[in-house]
Structure 1
């Protein structure tokens, strides 16, 4: 192929796999071969339709990835590097050699980049999270944001004034810092702590021999992804200039290499179903659930337009049992109809949290989903009027694209900065607590729900933001995608 083949390596977990799949599909749509490289544990989650396109392919590394945070992480990582090296060396001959490898900065960039360096294949850093979180992480380090005084707002040069940091912003990261320290203790036998990655805040290694890192760097420290992407020739981010232009421009100025917004990386149906329901079952592998999509549609159809608040903390993070109890009580005392999606293992127990007795008390006002929830369907239904969310990036862009405002309850990682983007920059929601969302009070939850659901101006702004996506996949993202591909192919090294 004249343009050359591009490999894409997502990090572990479906929240990283799905954006990687969409990036491959976009590359293929521009007439270039795109190959998704995954470890065997992720292969079953790849839709069969992905393999039908002659310009998209899958390489499955027949091994399990290293498990960040595990006691044997260092040994697993070395084994993973060896397996990945052997596998790729056997498939990177002159006829199939990729012109570059796009590596997810969460986990992958810390050790897989070394594999590709040895193979002489150039790498591009891939953020499945947004531009704001990476920019604020970098700017907080540059501004030495560790000594902010009460009442002070530490402006971040080069970024919008409303994104200045306050004492409460540092408090909101207190749990992340504690987790970060725990990660260091768990990985203390692994060697130096150089850092790698960015994104959703999962545990992750800090590079070859390094301990796990959780969430963005503590305030004032160098972001983990900076050193990890030093050898990359460019960065691509799961966002677009229409949504996060100031943050993409800031990053490009600071890192001294091209930065392109090639998203949001959402399924094709998201862009072609404007004004109609999105059926998750047609897009993503179904998982066990106590409801069907038809159950959800019937329940939502019976509720007034914009009256329902959807409550979900994603698939990989959650509250403590005490916090879940506070949330259950607040939802019970509220008069608003709600859908509450509760994931297995929530609350830290194997069986998961469940608000026993709540359904009997609220009756038809509640739909409690245990297991898989059709989130795109719920967010695209006209009865949904608000989203109590952890502000994971996938959830954030899905709701923004459907005009649903937020009550933000970030828990870890980039979620804190995503929440700041939503509340302060886009102004399409509120924080669940103005003091410290890690220590939220029960009364704050109820007040936040009522405030959000009764604020017509916030709802109007959310609809206005969604308008930038009503014409389909953003033109600015397509322009950046073309610029990225042209840069790679015109500067290829054979």
Structure 2
């Protein structure tokens, strides 16, 4: 054991070119580097500039930028998912695949002990030749992997997956409470669509897991233990869990651009809304959301990208909206430091798309949680929080998939009203889960065990 503990690792990281993937890979890198191990982080040039400030251990973590080739149909200079609309993501996958030679050259030159990757399903083909271990690290929930990946495994490759097939839970799936509505089934059908040249999203992700030496998931046994076991059994692989891998909360008061304005409101009185870096609403739905916030009568901060066909959020504001809400509400179209805002005393509710990173951040906050999922994995994360853990409320949607101002304000009011039974229940359950996640040594315990498992893996490889 002593020999293994002293083994210094060199790990290469190659995440999918999206903020929601690169950031958790970097958080993981920070935790591994903190324990004295070396990281080569492979990413697009533009992303290096955006993520540099999150590298807490530059002596151990080295960024290695890639030149992203242009693909017809992508905007010039597009390098990450934040640069494009969701409809063009399959072209970005082609661009990523065309960096294969660059990535292989880096791995040959750097000779790491192992490579962490997610959507680059071809990494194991390289690592097997080089005698390097491959770790398929999934930064989505185990629920997403289990329900969205496995049901399609027997579908012939020459036809699309039907809605009826997507509605069927896989045999042996450990949860009976997750039910998909018709508009949600449509959201999950993306897994059968092209994601790269001649490959579907489903084939890409399942191949990435199937060909890896080890599967790893950014989750914990306490929340998704059965689902993690299920994924491992389906692929016949060890599944290593990292825990939530969240950066340590700031010990100093919020000094962000919103701090002075937020300071002017009562503790726990404000509602904060953010849908991540990729969600772009249609203009009418964007305006409906704003009118829903106006209805609640509480102070609010909304951080969303400008809606479709609008260059700024200002030009999309409903008529008279700004004059009516005055100083109690602000709408911002740029990037915000979400963890800092959530930690501000005035924030009492977080309205989120339930991306996996935002899910963990909401659980670690003191805020009530209201969810408006948009994409497949967000829907499944929402089911986990609303139906399994009972720590959040979901905004009810129309059959067409849209949500009304009335249903949005109803959901927010249900958790912000101190006497509401639903609000009392989810707050109590949330407090229990936060106590578990924030307990001393919970996250560090997961990470210590995880790094030990990596060392064992490399040691066995060296002896083989």
Q: Same fold by TM-score, threshold 0.5 exceeded?
A: yes
Deviation string for 1:418-475 (max 9, x for gaps)?
1111111111112211665822233212222212222222222222221123235525
Q: Give the equivalent residue in structure 1 for 2:322.
A: 359
Instruction: Please point out which of 81, 97, 100 is paired with 2:114.
Output: 100
Q: Give the equivalent residue in structure 2 for 1:319.
A: 281
Instruction: Please point out which of 388, 393, 398 is paired with 1:425.
Output: 388
Instruction: Please point out which of 24, 28, 34 is paired with 1:29.
Output: 34
Which SS does the other structure have where 1:438 is aligned?
coil
1:347 aligns with 2:272: no
- The 2-side partners of 1:437 and 1:312 are apart by 22
Q: Give the equivalent residue in structure 2 for 1:457.
A: 425
Deviation string for 1:157-210 (max 9, x for gaps)?
3423333x34x2x43131443x567x54xxxxxxxxxxxxxxxxxxx43xxx42
Cα pair distance change 1:71/1:372, threshold 3 Å: closer
Assess if the C-alpha contact under 8 Å between 2:289 and 2:404 holds in 1: no
Assess if the C-alpha contact under 8 Å between 1:468 and 1:474 holds in 2: no
- Provide structure 1 residue ranges, at least 5 long, that are not aligned to the other structure: 185-203, 218-222, 280-292
- The 2-side partners of 1:60 and 1:465 are apart by 38
Cα pair distance change 1:173/1:476, threshold 3 Å: farther
Q: Give the equivalent residue in structure 2 for 1:235.
A: 215
Assess if the C-alpha contact under 8 Å between 1:406 and 1:422 holds in 2: no
- The 2-side partners of 1:266 and 1:63 are apart by 29
The alpha carbon displacement at 1:476 in A equals 4.6
Cα pair distance change 1:278/1:488, threshold 3 Å: farther
Q: Give the equivalent residue in structure 2 for 1:471.
A: 439
- The 2-side partners of 1:474 and 1:73 are apart by 33
Instruction: State the Cα RMSD in Å.
Output: 3.3
1:333 aligns with 2:295: yes
The alpha carbon displacement at 1:71 in A equals 9.0
- The 1-side partners of 2:264 and 2:312 are apart by 31
Assess if the C-alpha contact under 8 Å between 2:146 and 2:173 holds in 1: no
Which SS does the other structure have where 1:439 is aligned?
coil
Q: Give the equivalent residue in structure 2 for 1:193.
A: none
Cα pair distance change 1:439/1:370, threshold 3 Å: closer
Assess if the C-alpha contact under 8 Å between 2:287 and 2:316 holds in 1: no
1:401 aligns with 2:364: yes
- The 1-side partners of 2:94 and 2:231 are apart by 34
- The 2-side partners of 1:412 and 1:300 are apart by 30
The alpha carbon displacement at 1:226 in A equals 1.8
1:377 aligns with 2:388: no
The alpha carbon displacement at 1:143 in A equals 11
The alpha carbon displacement at 1:300 in A equals 2.6
Which SS does the other structure have where 1:161 is aligned?
coil
Larger deviation: 463-472 or 372-381?
463-472
- The 1-side partners of 2:43 and 2:90 are apart by 23
- The 1-side partners of 2:97 and 2:377 are apart by 28
- The 1-side partners of 2:448 and 2:21 are apart by 23
Assess if the C-alpha contact under 8 Å between 1:411 and 1:438 holds in 2: no
Q: Give the equivalent residue in structure 2 for 1:263.
A: 243
Instruction: Please point out which of 128, 147, 152 is paired with 2:139.
Output: 128
Larger deviation: 362-371 or 409-418?
362-371
- The 2-side partners of 1:225 and 1:72 are apart by 16
Normalized against structure 2, the TM-score is what? 0.81
Larger deviation: 318-327 or 473-482?
473-482
Assess if the C-alpha contact under 8 Å between 1:313 and 1:390 holds in 2: yes
The alpha carbon displacement at 1:146 in A equals 5.1
1:82 aligns with 2:82: no
- The 2-side partners of 1:489 and 1:153 are apart by 39
Q: What is the 5 A alignment of 1:44-443? A: 44-47=49-52, 50=55, 52-64=57-69, 69=88, 76=95, 79-89=98-108, 91-92=109-110, 97-103=111-117, 105-106=118-119, 108-109=120-121, 111-138=122-149, 140-141=151-152, 147=164, 157-163=172-178, 165-166=179-180, 168=181, 170-177=182-189, 184=194, 204-205=195-196, 209-211=197-199, 213=201, 224-267=204-247, 269-270=248-249, 273=251, 277=253, 293-294=256-257, 296-343=258-305, 345-352=306-313, 354-356=316-318, 357-433=320-396, 436=399, 438-443=401-406
Which SS does the other structure have where 2:401 is aligned?
helix
The alpha carbon displacement at 1:263 in A equals 3.2
Which SS does the other structure have where 1:172 is aligned?
helix
- Provide structure 2 residue ranges, at least 5 long, that are not aligned to the other structure: 1-5, 75-80, 82-87, 156-161, 418-422
Cα pair distance change 1:148/1:71, threshold 3 Å: closer
Assess if the C-alpha contact under 8 Å between 1:306 and 1:383 holds in 2: yes
Cα pair distance change 1:465/1:488, threshold 3 Å: same
Q: Give the equivalent residue in structure 2 for 1:199.
A: none
Cα pair distance change 1:131/1:175, threshold 3 Å: closer
- The 2-side partners of 1:479 and 1:71 are apart by 36
